[in-house]
Structure 1
């Protein structure tokens, strides 16, 4: 029962954060609803793109958390603490999204840099959840042995690294180059996944049980 309560609490946080994103979209004035061009002139598309980006980001974070917690046998105090840390940064995403999507601040470097920092810390905290669970022996892979924890670390580390690397790029060159750097994840993440799948797997434990590499 306690495990279910913990999962439900964190699921509700992700759901609430993704719902709050819609509050960043300002309703255009009545004069902007006469035609599509007039609606686009209100710069509504900037807010819609910010909403869509963060919606996908939070959905991915929830999906990763769902997979991570699905591989955990029980909820320890340390695991609860890391989940709270991750939830803290997820809750901040609607706030930092406002800075990057609002027409009056979208072209400033600082909002994009803070958004990148927010996403990087949220990703790192989620990685810490799995690493902590593995060290405590709370996952099936940790119980079976092998290097699943290292594989998961290598699989998830490109996301925070790219977002952190985009911060100095944004501050020096502007928001657009920093955001373009985020797009490299569409290449880096699948490439990392493919390389890890080709890497040799550790030998099975004596009892013949093969570690589960997909948490």
Structure 2
């Protein structure tokens, strides 16, 4: 096999993995929607009342949809610069996908009856593992030099810092859920946009510093 042919085979393998990821994410989003409660009632008021009673389930669906979409978008952004697959990259991607597929189940647990801290913690831990596994994906791509030569220097730095910060936010929310039994834990999640803004700036600074060095 010539060098050029080998490069083409590795590029096709990376593209196939990306297509597989897209398919699994689509299934995860579908599973997320399948468990939405159907409003009941013979009148408009009864239907609206039923929808209001299931408001937490609808909100959890919306949040999880946004979260899964954000994970997919980050993966798509990184893999658009991947030129080949390394030994551990596929395994790490499968671990990351496992977290995405687990998210519909974690969403159902979050909105189920029972003690709040354990239910909340399961959802948060899934997010911690998803973000941590994605950080390992980025690290593996950089370590094995699996990216194209024209990739902007700040892309990997920003994504890595963002993943680590998100994992930290969700990890902190776990003990907070046991201490506050609700409100404080969700407030931790609301700090995520601020943390991501700071992470983006730190990633930009770090990438520029490495580039100058």
TM class by shorter chain equals 0.7 to 0.9
Please identify which structure carries the higher helix content.
Answer: 2
- Residue of structure 2 equivalent to 1:78: 88
Q: Distance in 2 between matches of 1:4 and 1:149?
A: 19
Distance 1:144 1:97, change over 3 A: closer
**Aligned match of 2:120 in 85, 97, 112?**
112
**Aligned match of 1:170 in 153, 168, 177?**
177
Matched length: 201
**Any unmatched runs of 5+ in structure 1?**
206-215
Distance 1:75 1:176, change over 3 A: same
**Any unmatched runs of 5+ in structure 2?**
1-11
Name which of structure 1's ranges 192-201 and 72-81 shifts more when overlaid on structure 2: 192-201
Q: Is the 8 A contact 2:128 2:170 kept in 1?
A: yes
Q: Distance in 2 between matches of 1:113 and 1:129?
A: 24
- Residue of structure 2 equivalent to 1:25: 36
1:154 Cα deviation from its structure 2 partner? 2.3
- Residue of structure 2 equivalent to 1:181: 188
Deviations 1:98-136 (A, max 9, x none): 01123x24x622111110000110011111111001100
The correspondence of residues 31-180 of structure 1 with structure 2, limited to 5 A, is 31=42, 33-35=44-46, 37-41=48-52, 43-102=53-112, 104-105=113-114, 108-140=116-148, 151-180=158-187
- Residue of structure 1 equivalent to 2:14: 3
Q: Is the 8 A contact 2:29 2:68 kept in 1?
A: yes
Q: Is the 8 A contact 1:169 1:177 kept in 2?
A: yes
Q: Distance in 2 between matches of 1:62 and 1:20?
A: 16
